[in-house]
Each structure stands twice: as structure tokens, then as C-alpha cells.
Structure 1
Amino acid sequence: MSNVLSVGRLGAMLAKEFVQMRRDRITFAMMLAVPIVQLLLFGYAINNDPKGLPAAVLALGQDRYTRSVVAALQVSGYYRFGRQPESAAEAESLMARGAISFLVTIPSDFGARVERGDEPRILVEADATDPAASSGAVSALQTIAGRALTRALGNEEAVREQSQSALSFIVHRRYNPEGITQYNIVPGLLGVILQMTMVMMTSMALTREIERGTMENLLAMPATPAEIMLGKVLPYLAIGSVQVAVVLSAAKLLFGVPFLGSLLLLLTCVLIFVLALVLLGYTISTMARTQLQAMQLTFFFFLPSLLLSGFMFPFAGMPGWAQAIGELFPLTHFLRVIRAIMLKGAGLDDVGVEVFWLFVFVPVYAGLALRRFRSTLD
């Protein structure tokens, strides 16, 4: 064979590789889908200055100045007043469940204080479990309310100047008053680490058998598809429990993350979450023919899940379509649960909806896995 570079041989090799790429449809699809997904998510869905944050107003008075301030906050785009609690207890429940990010309390004598220039004050309670989500909205409070009072006061120049200079906001950052980023990131890392490892390892469960040529032995066993699935995924629950212990211990000992809720409730939610993940990984393994394809499909799931779950970027700042997609990932609901339990001391009544959706993923992924399971190698 000649050692001189042959254009013909090179052309044959190139043709062979293109044919192989065309046959490997999963890899070819990943090459096109991943950059498109990244462009769409980073271009449209990600927003570091979130607006339209869910808020509630507890207005103890109904004077024109109160209405002007509330309307100005709504028009600013930072706040979305969709709830109006009747009492402080109801507002506290909304905050604990994560239904609102801000609670604006305007006292009953606010209007009288504005007209007298007697230091009118507004209390704003912010959910600071994610400091990045609330910083922009909090910093804009003074300017927004000041302009609203200027318009409400009309031509009363002296009163306007006095009230504007005296108007103040008392901002109470709940659950994370010091704005420590680790309090938000470290609990979320538990979900991210579990998702990355559990899905990836179990996604190779069946493909490893196929590549090693031991799939025939597995199929020859007197076992049902459900028994095979459970035998493949249950050992990874033990691995997940070790990871949970390591991350929670590090969160407390290294980063000082507070733990205010029930450990039993948290571990129960973690168990449901891990079970959903290993079943998802098993479902992926029924779709892939090789371990490489299994890793590619895992990455394709992991990327949008990481970006749209609220771990890296504020969930409330995403457009509606991105939030709708984010609700389809177990990580989104798990992040809400673990942050609420650890930082807010939330109970089952507060996180019950999120726990329910976590539980829904288990039969859904199990059904998909059993439906996709191949009883033969063909």
C-alpha cells in the first residue's frame, strides 16, 4: 500500500463516515438540536433582571395615594399583583408556599401621613431565598413610588417635596436577610447532582447489557419487564442516599445553610425525586442502542432542565412559554420543595402541590419505560 496521500481513499473514508453519521440518527439530531436549544434558551428564556414577579398587597386603607402607589408598582413591570390577602396570616401562608415573591403592606394612615408630610412608610417583605430574583425589584421601589405620589399630589408643590423626601420603604428580606448566595445554590445543588448522576448511570442500564452481549442472558431469565426494571434501578437508590448524606452534611458543616424544616419530610421528597430520576434514566436506556447515545440523550434532557428549573436563573423572570416547559421537569418542583423546607421551614401543607407533581413523574416514567422495553434484541 502506498504511503502517499490518496484522494480516492480519503474520499472513500469521508463517504463512509457520512453514511455512518446518517445512520446514527440520535447523534445527528443532537448535533443540530443542542445549538438550537441553547440559542433559544439563552436568547429568549434567560433574564437576569426578572419582571412580572408574583406579589400581593395588604392595603389597610383605600385612599388615592395607596391606589396610586399600587398602580405604579404594577405598571412598572416588576410586580404582578395577582393576589390580595385578607389578613397577615393568609399573606404569610402565600409567602411560605412560594406563591408570592413580595408582600407590600400599606398602613391605614398612609394617605394622611402623605398629606401631612409625616414620614409615610411602606413595608415590603421579599422572598430572599433567591437574592438575584428580588434585587432589581427592590432597588426600583423608591423611584416608582415617588413618581406615583408626585402625580397624585398634583400642584401641591410644598406637600409633594415634603412627602417625597420623607417617603421610605422598610424592606424585610425573608428567609435569607443577608442575601447569602450559598443558601440558594447549595440546596439546589442536591437536586442537580442527583439528576446528573442518577439519570446518567441508569440510562446505561440496558445499553450496557446490549454492548457487552449479555442481553440474551437477561432476556432468557424467567423475569417480567417490571422485575427487570426494578432490578436495574433499585440499586441506584442506595447510591443516591449516599449522595444525599454527603451534600446535606456539607451544606450544614461547610456552608452553614440553615435547616428549619422536617428532615423526615425532606428525605421522603428526596426518595420520590430519586425514584423518578432512575425511572427516567431507565426510559432513556430503552431508547438508546449504545452507551454513547444514552449519554447524549441524558445531556439533551439535562441542559434545558438545568436552565429552566430556576437553579441558575430566576424562574419567575422567564417568559410564560419557558415557565410552562420548566414545569415538565422534576428538578423544577424539587428545587421549590428543598428550598422551602430548608430555608422557610415549610411543612407538607406548604409544599404539598409540588410533592404531588413529583409523585406524578414516578408512574409516568415507569409506564414509559415498560412500554418501551424491548422483549427481544430486534
Structure 2
Amino acid sequence: MREWLALVWAEIKKEHRNSFHSNLIYFSLLLWPIVMFVTSYYSFFPFARGADSPLARFVDPDQLVLYLLTGYLGYIFFWCLVQSAWRMSFERQAGTMEMIFIAPVNRLAFVFGRTISSLAEGVWLFLSFVLIAIVLVGGLHISGWWSIPLAFLILVVSAVVWGGLLTVLFLFSRDSSFLYTILDEPMLIFAGVRIPPLAFPFWAKLISLCFPLTYALAIIRKLLLDGAGMQDILPDLTVLAGVLLGLVGVTAGMLRLAERRMKRTGSMVLY
């Protein structure tokens, strides 16, 4: 366990030095999500938002700001890890990938160390903005002090597991940029970041079930907006736990498959 933690910490330091070496990077990590949130919020203004509006069937109009804040906070958590996985192509080009798989290190420690680093570095600024905005806007409805830490823990664990799976997917080929397109924008559209999945047609609801963010946001909004207690979220929490455990198993299996494939084809660096 000690060795595993040491490997995770080493990967965290490496990612920090490689990807977060400029103040402009941190500035963009705050500015870009805020612009997206403001754009989304004002895109609702041309439409009716009263108690008798179609929107009111799925979202309390008085909680629209909080709905979007929680949605974009969850999206930024997951988006940072899509970005981290996409940067695996640079690991191949630099030859770092070859060194990692030759070294006697735990492969899962490498994968999850990378995701934890990207998450911690990438979301803290926007998280600060969200917390300040929630304090200014008000309207949180929680059943106890534990609701906020639990919501944060659910989001972190879900994002790290999702990031680990994506990192392994990007191990199969250097030219995996198409996965970024497939996994980023559809997650923003279908995972309930801006529009409740209940408002989708049946085919879109099926797509939304493919993203762990959908389950995580549903629980977080119940905790923070609906004042749900532990008994209320237990069924949703059980489903999410099952999904995440399944993803961890798939991640471990695909990691072994990717390593065997790279050793067989000699493609750690090229393809």
C-alpha cells in the first residue's frame, strides 16, 4: 500500500510539472468554465421560465442558477479527466510511455495517480467560484451538514474512476483524438449538465445512461437542491456504486489487454 501511494504521488508531481506550469493555465481553467456557465444561463432567457413554463416540469425556475452551477461543476470535474486522458498521446511521442511500461511499477497506480493530479489541479479554481456563487445566490436545501461533503466525495470518486477508464482507452492508439470528440461534447449534452435527462426523448435517455456523470449529478442535486436524506438517495447511490465498480473492473482488464497488445506489436511509441 505504501509503495502504491508513493507511485501515485510520483505521478501527481510529474503531471503538475508537465501540465500546470504557467499561471495562464490556471487563469483559463477559471475563465473558460465561467464563460460557459454564463452563456448557458442566459440562453434560457428568451424562453418562458415561470411556474407554468415547460421548464418548470423538470427544474424549479427559482433553482435554475443552482441547477446549472452543480451541472457545470460536475462537467468540469469530468472534462479535466477527458483532457488528461487525451494527453496520453504526448506520453507516447515523448517516450515516457515506454519507460512507464518497462519500469516495475503498478499500472493502476500510474493511471489513477494521473487522474487524481489532473482533477486536483484542474477544478479547484472553478470550485471556488461555484462555492462563492452559491453563497451569494442562496437557495441550497440540504437535510444536514454532511450533504455537502458527501456530494463532493461522490463527484470526486466518480470523476477519478471515469478518468482512469478514459486514460486506458487512450493507451490503445496514439491517434485517439476522435475519442475526445465522442466523449466530451455528448457528455455535456446528455449527462444533465444543462438539460434534465427526463426531458430527453427515449433514445437520448439511453445515451445519458452511458455517462457516470448522469448518475452523480442526479444524486448531488437531490442532496443539495431537494434536501434528500441518506435513505432517499440510497437506491441511486447503490446504482452509482455498481456502475463505478464495473468501470474499475473494465479499467483493470483493458489495462492488461493494452499492455499485452503494445508488447506484442511494439507500438508503445509509434501507433
Q: TM-score, normalised to structure 2's length?
A: 0.65
Structure 2 CA distance for aligned equivalents of residues 133 and 190 of structure 1: 26
Select which of 343, 348, 362 maps to 2:230. Answer: 348
CA gap 1:132/1:220 in 2 versus in 1, 3 angstroms: farther
Code of the residue aligned with 1:366 in structure 2: it is V
Contact 1:202 1:282 in 2 (8 A): yes
Structure 1 CA distance for aligned equivalents of residues 112 and 197 of structure 2: 34
Q: How does 1:92-131 map to 2 (within 5 A)?
A: none
- 1:88-117 deviation digits (Å, cap 9, x = unpaired): xxxxxxxxxxxxxxxxxxxxxxxxxxxxxx
Contact 1:133 1:314 in 2 (8 A): no
Select which of 65, 79, 83 maps to 1:200. Answer: 83
- Residue in 2 aligned with 1:338? 220
Q: Which moved more, 1:367-376 or 1:336-345?
A: 367-376
SS at match of 2:118: helix
Q: CA deviation at 1:240?
A: 5.6
Structure 2 CA distance for aligned equivalents of residues 315 and 134 of structure 1: 20
- Residue in 2 aligned with 1:223? 105
Question: Greater Rg, structure 1 or structure 2?
Answer: 1
SS at match of 1:230: helix
Q: What is the CA RMSD across the aligned residues, in angstroms?
A: 3.1
CA gap 1:278/1:182 in 2 versus in 1, 3 angstroms: same
Corresponding pairs, count:
209
SS at match of 2:228: coil
- Residue in 1 aligned with 2:53? 135
Q: How does 1:215-254 map to 2 (within 5 A)?
A: 215-239=97-121, 242-243=124-125, 245-254=127-136
Q: CA deviation at 1:190?
A: 0.7
CA gap 1:137/1:197 in 2 versus in 1, 3 angstroms: closer
Code of the residue aligned with 2:70 in structure 1: it is P
- Residue in 2 aligned with 1:191? 74
Structure 1 CA distance for aligned equivalents of residues 194 and 98 of structure 2: 43
Structure 1 CA distance for aligned equivalents of residues 191 and 233 of structure 2: 16
Structure 1 CA distance for aligned equivalents of residues 58 and 182 of structure 2: 36
Higher relative contact order (CA 8 A, sep 6+): 2
Q: How does 1:301-340 map to 2 (within 5 A)?
A: 301-340=183-222
Q: CA deviation at 1:134?
A: 6.6
Runs of 4+ residues deviating >4 angstroms: 131-134, 173-176
Structure 1 CA distance for aligned equivalents of residues 90 and 50 of structure 2: 42
Contact 1:209 1:215 in 2 (8 A): yes
Structure 2 CA distance for aligned equivalents of residues 213 and 132 of structure 1: 57
Structure 1 CA distance for aligned equivalents of residues 51 and 242 of structure 2: 28
Q: CA deviation at 1:287?
A: 3.1
Code of the residue aligned with 1:352 in structure 2: it is L
Structure 2 CA distance for aligned equivalents of residues 289 and 362 of structure 1: 26
Contact 1:260 1:344 in 2 (8 A): yes
Give structure 1 stretches of 5+ with no counterpart: 1-130, 139-172
Q: CA deviation at 1:254?
A: 4.4
Contact 1:273 1:334 in 2 (8 A): yes
- Pairing 1:266–2:184 present: no
Select which of 172, 175, 189 maps to 1:287. Answer: 172
SS at match of 1:322: helix
- Residue in 2 aligned with 1:372? 254
Code of the residue aligned with 2:244 in structure 1: it is V
Q: CA deviation at 1:322?
A: 1.9
- Pairing 1:363–2:245 present: yes
Give structure 2 stretches of 5+ with no counterpart: 1-48
The structure carrying a bigger helix percent of its residues is 2
Q: CA deviation at 1:338?
A: 1.8
Contact 2:80 2:119 in 1 (8 A): no
SS at match of 1:287: coil
Q: CA deviation at 1:174?
A: 11
Structure 2 CA distance for aligned equivalents of residues 228 and 220 of structure 1: 13
Q: CA deviation at 1:133?
A: 9.9
Q: TM-score, normalised to structure 1's length?
A: 0.48
Contact 1:202 1:236 in 2 (8 A): no
- 1:149-168 deviation digits (Å, cap 9, x = unpaired): xxxxxxxxxxxxxxxxxxxx
Identity rate, percent: 23
- Residue in 2 aligned with 1:213? 95
Contact 1:240 1:274 in 2 (8 A): no
- 1:27-83 deviation digits (Å, cap 9, x = unpaired): xxxxxxxxxxxxxxxxxxxxxxxxxxxxxxxxxxxxxxxxxxxxxxxxxxxxxxxxx
